[in-house]
């Protein structure tokens, strides 16, 4: 999810698995729509509720392969939505060490590889 605040900044979370920054998001659960998954994951990871969603793009391909620190390997197909938050105060939750509003430019060097790949493919830098 690309969640933008009133000032145009984007919501990032610092992941507990690799210590790097990413966009909030997660895995589709059985029976969920992509939209429901996006809303649920943003709330679970950073405590923000979002309303309407706009599809930004779908990212896939060989560069989307990722090996998690625990050894799990995935070929991500990432569906990226954009939204605005209902509330502006993110809170780090279970899978997050920290949450903050920032820009891709200032976070670029510390991005988790799946977020970096999606941001590159969608033209954020």
- Which value, in Å, is the radius of gyration of the alpha carbons in the chain? 13
Question: What mean pLDDT do residues 96-113 have?
Answer: 93
Q: How many domains does the chain have?
A: 1
Return the half-sphere exposure (C-beta side, CA atoms, 13 A cut-off) of residue 24: 36
Q: How many CB atoms lie within 10 A of CB 28?
A: 15
- pLDDT at res. 93: 86
- Counting Cα atoms < 13 Å in the Cβ hemisphere of 28 gives 11
pLDDT of residue 119 exceeding 80, the answer is yes
One-character DSSP codes across 30-68? TT--HHHHHHHHHHHHH---B---EEEEEE-SGGGEEE-
Residue 45 · residue 94 · CB < 8 Å:
yes
Q: CATH code at 17? A: 3.90.79.10
Domain annotation covers residue 39: yes
- Structure tokens, 6: 């009133």
CA distances to 16, 28, 58, 59, 68 from 55, in Å: 27, 16, 8, 12, 26
pTM recorded for the entire structure: 0.91
pLDDT tens figures, 9-65: 999 999 999 999 999 999 999 999 999 999 999 999 999 999 899 999 999 999 999
**Is position 124 within any domain?**
no
Residue 118 lies in a domain: no
Q: 91 lies in which domain range?
A: 2-109
**Could you tell me if residue 82 is inside a domain?**
yes
Q: What is the pLDDT of residues 50-90, one digit of tens each?
A: 989 999 999 999 999 999 999 999 999 999 999 999 987 89
């Amino acid at each position: 999810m690309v969640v933008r605040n009133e000032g145009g900044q984007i919501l990032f979370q610092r992941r507990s698995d690799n210590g790097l920054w990413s966009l909030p998001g997660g895995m589709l659960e059985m029976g969920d729509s992509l939209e429901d998954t996006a809303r649920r994951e943003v709330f679970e990871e950073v405590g923000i509720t979002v309303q309407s969603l706009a599809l930004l793009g779908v990212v896939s391909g060989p560069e989307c392969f990722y090996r998690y620190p625990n050894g799990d390997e995935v070929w991500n197909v990432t569906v990226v939505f954009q939204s605005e938050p209902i509330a502006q105060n993110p809170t780090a939750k279970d899978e997050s060490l920290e949450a903050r509003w920032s820009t891709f430019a200032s976070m670029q060097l510390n991005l988790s590889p799946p977020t970096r790949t999606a941001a590159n493919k969608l033209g954020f830098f």
